């Protein structure tokens, strides 16, 4: 078991902190929606989740040790840019896939199969962008 963990540590940590990021998003949304409404709560929850994801990915998943202001701001900007890009894909791609033929209902929910496929794509894309663009190892 220990060998498995060591071999796949980065991916295990990425998905663990990803689940916690989703929890942060949902909790922030639930706490804020009675106060500031759905749209504003969703925006604040998304941003809070992105900040949480950045810090946990930097510290624990990819182990970036750089804390100089310029480098940290560069990483944060790249991380935010990648998440905005994947967020746009998450909004647009389900409809595109639905119209391209992935139009099967799942659990009685229209377009749910397309949505699940996009979620998988976005998770993988976020991992690849974080590993290769945001927190790439210096040579």
What is the tens place of the pLDDT at every residue in 75-101?
Answer: 999 999 999 999 999 889 988 988 898
Distance of CA 57 to the CA centre of its chain: 10
Amino acid 37: pLDDT: 87
Q: Which of 11-15, 36-40, 85-89, 107-111 has the lowest mean pLDDT?
A: 107-111
Provide the Cα torsion 58, 122, 112, 25; round to 10°.
20
pLDDT tens for each residue of 16-74: 999 999 999 999 999 999 999 888 898 999 999 999 999 999 999 999 988 899 999 99
- Length of the chain in terms of residues written: 139
Q: Are 58 and 135 in contact (CB under 8 A)?
A: yes
């Amino acid at each position: 078991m220990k060998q498995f963990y060591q071999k796949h540590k980065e991916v295990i940590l990425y998905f663990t902190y990803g689940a916690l990021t989703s929890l942060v998003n949902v909790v922030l949304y639930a706490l804020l929606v009675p106060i500031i409404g759905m749209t504003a709560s969703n925006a604040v929850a998304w941003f809070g989740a992105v900040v949480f994801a950045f810090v946990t990915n930097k510290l624990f998943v990819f182990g970036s040790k750089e804390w100089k202001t310029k480098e940290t701001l560069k990483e944060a900007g790249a991380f935010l840019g990648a998440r905005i890009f994947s967020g746009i894909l998450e909004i647009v791609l389900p409809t595109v896939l639905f119209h391209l033929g992935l139009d099967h209902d799942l659990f009685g929910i229209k377009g749910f199969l397309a949505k699940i496929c996009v979620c998988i794509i976005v998770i993988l894309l976020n991992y690849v962008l974080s590993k290769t663009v945001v927190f790439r190892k210096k040579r």
